[in-house]
Amino acid sequence: MLLRGVVLSAIAISGTASAQTPVPFPRPGDPRQAAQKPTQPPPVAQPAPRPPAATPQKPDEPNEKTLGMPIYPGAEFIASYDAGRGQRYYLFGTNTPFAEIVGYYRSVLKQRGELVYEEPPIHMFDVGRFREETMAFPPGVTVKDYTWGGSQGYINPKRGAQPSRFKTIIQIVPSPEGPSQADK
């Protein structure tokens, strides 16, 4: 009885083994090859592309040419607001320290500007003539330190965006007449 079970098992195994034996090279007219569909290897998952070091500018975002003023390299556009009288002001955020941003604008605008507040530090650079009858703000650049007094920084208004906070905010008010003297 035991011998008969072993023999039947051996026959069953050998029968299934021969039916599943792969043919290493196809032969023309082989019926086993016609019945089998060629299998393709699963697609290899490509690694996700790495984002560029600097975020490319979107078409609706302001740039140095449209503002007529320099923008600190790497500063991220946050938003623009209606200032009234046909003017807008533009906010940019960066995690570069306040003193470095002020130094950059001193160099690029070729002027010292004015520290208008020591606590929290706010530095202004006037770039162009203020005309009270046609302007709400004088054209220029204002830099504010948002880490003063232990603050964690200006909250990024874009949900889930990185960085979540900015150490320094740059406000640019272009001249309503177009590019300023700093651009010429």
Higher pLDDT, 69 or 4: 69
Cα 84 versus chain centre, distance: 30
Please determine, for residue 68, whether its predicted confidence score (pLDDT) is greater than 60. yes
Q: Degrees (nearest 5) of the Cα angle 175, 112, 64? A: 35
- Backbone angles phi and psi of 167, in degrees to 5: -70, -40
Q: Walk across the sheet containing 87-94 and list its strands.
A: 76-84, 87-94, 168-173, 140-145, 121-126, 114-118
Q: Are the beta carbons of 53 and 74 closer than 8 angstroms?
A: no
Which tens digit of pLDDT belongs to each residue from 116-144? 999 999 999 999 899 999 999 999 999 99
Which tens digit of pLDDT belongs to each residue from 21-51? 554 545 555 555 455 555 555 454 444 333 3
Q: Do the bridges between strand 87-94 and strand 121-126 make them parallel or antiparallel, or are there none, so unpaired?
A: unpaired
Q: Mean pLDDT, to the nearest integer, of 155-181?
A: 87
Please determine, for residue 70, whether its predicted confidence score (pLDDT) is greater than 60. yes
* pLDDT at residue 43, as a whole number: 52
Please determine, for residue 13, whether its predicted confidence score (pLDDT) is greater than 90. no
* pLDDT at residue 77, as a whole number: 97
Q: Tell me the pLDDT band of 59, cut-offs 50, 70 and 90.
A: low
* pLDDT at residue 184, as a whole number: 41
* pLDDT at residue 15, as a whole number: 47
Higher pLDDT, 12 or 96: 96
Q: Tell me the pLDDT band of 107, cut-offs 50, 70 and 90.
A: very high
Question: Residue 176 in 3-state DSSP?
Answer: coil
- Span between the terminal Cα atoms of the chain, in Å: 105
Q: Tell me the pLDDT band of 150, cut-offs 50, 70 and 90.
A: very high
Which tens digit of pLDDT belongs to each residue from 85-94? 989 999 999 9
